[in-house]
Amino acid sequence: MTASTANDQRFREFKMPDVGEGLTEAEILKWYVAVGDTVADGQVVCEVETAKAAVELPIPFDGVVHELRFDEGTTVDVGTAIISVDTNPGAGPAGAAPEAAPAAARAAATAAEPEPETGGRQAVLVGYGAAPSSTKRRARKPQPGAASSVAAAVQAELNGHTAPVAPVAPVAPVEPAAPVTPVAPEPALGGLALASASGGRPLAKPPVRKLAKDLGVDLATVTPTGADGVVTREDVHAALAAASAPTAASPAPLASGAVAEAAPGAEAASGAGVLVARETRIPVKGVRKATAQAMVASAFTAPHVTEFVTVDVTRTMKLVQKLKADPDMAGLRVNPLLLVAKALLVAIKRNPDVNAAWDEENQEIVRKDYVNLGIAAATPRGLIVPNIKEAQAKTLPELSRALGDLVATAREGRTSPADMSGGTVTITNVGVFGIDTGTPILNPGESAILAFGAVKLQPWVHKGKVKPRQVTTLALSFDHRLVDGELGSKVLADVAAVLENPQRLITWG
């Protein structure tokens, strides 16, 4: 056994798993360990956020943490090594652990390795993971001249390779055609300066390039302070801060007899600079990225129709107060949303064709005999829609308990991907924000979504007289491929009828 082989067996890498079916990347939110810490099989080492939820990752072997490959806040592709562990620390000093290659190189290497047990896919915690990519890239042609050779050599060293650096050929001095004002030299090495002057690529490690891309910073405008003219993370943050800080330059004194004249476009450029300084760019990732993709896919795939109804819910609000005092509901969360959910379940029972899905591939309508009731929840990480499985079979206390657990878990950011998949219909409670109603967009794969507006005291004709009553507005959006106007109207009317007279929960339920 060679020393290299022994070293590879001693230092084991833990790769980013696919924590949800088909996810391709995740962001490292927090490390729970540091270099030098002892870890055990099954111990949680970090928390990551996918497009669906925040998940804690356990490591599958024992040892001592040798290296954390990525900082917190970095988005990492599935299958990329994120931590290196020394599985035999008692063996004494050994060679360095295998150096972390760029994400693209590691992904290509993983795709090239034969894996007969899993059919060429990366082992994951949940599901089967993403299929390996077979895409290959042609090597970049080097630019002629000494500057490109120096830049290429330094960048190769950053990526974990070594290459000889050709000596820089002396540049013959050129006589200026007119007197030139001396310019202070750039705070970088000659090789980097030449590379920048000739259009060479700025030198930076892959994580730094990713950071600059996320923050919208052009590396060509960043002044490097690292060794050999390498751009560091601090350089990127400094450039961002400099671009965001308002600047007020003092005008230079005019020579005697000179007339101050604004350069063409100077005023417009100054105004644009002020606007940029007052803008904040936020990277789109995680839950926000998934929500944006889902809403666009839904809005431009399913033909939406939205219907509205305004209803007197005074009796329902009185029932809520009675249920809060009921011993059978002790310790449970009782609110108007609970009775709205129960009313929707009764309406679906009376109109089962609304609980369906459109199968585009097979050109079929899939009617479902179960109701996985989604509840749209606003969380610090964005909007998510977990669902209550088999909601149609639950009693009112069971539904209340499931609803409370769902909301609490969502707000803590602990909702699992399984809890957000398989939904059939959804309720969005816009009334908690004081909003009367809206036109909600369908959750992808679902047939209908009900918006529950704010309950307000309004004048209402009741038993032939105008009286103050508690009134709300309901809005039902549905997929017109599945649900025609008659069916959608019946469902919405049934929900309104139950909330107007909650005794129908007994007679219809």
At 480, give phi and psi (nearest 5°). Answer: -70, -10
Q: Enumerate the β-bridge partners of residue 83.
A: 14, 68
| Nearby residues of 163 by Cβ (< 8 Å), 6 or more positions away | 152, 153, 156, 157
DSSP strand pairing (456-462 vs 81-86): unpaired
480 tagged catalytic: yes
Query: Which among 160, 50, 46 has a CA at the least distance from the CA of 104?
Result: 160
- Encoded tokens for 337: 């949303």
> How many Cβ atoms from other residues are within 10 Å of residue 23's Cβ?
22
Using a 10 angstrom Cβ sphere, with 0-12 exposed, 13-18 middle and 19 or more buried, the burial of residue 289 is middle
Cα dist from 95 to 6, 92, 212, whole Å: 10, 10, 33
- Out of 66, 304, 462, 480, pick the active-site residue: 480
3-state secondary structure 1-42: CCHHHHHHHHEEEEECCCCCCCCCEEEEEEECCCCCCEECCC
How far is the C-alpha of 384 from the C-alpha of 386, rounded, in Å?
6
| Catalytic site positions | 480
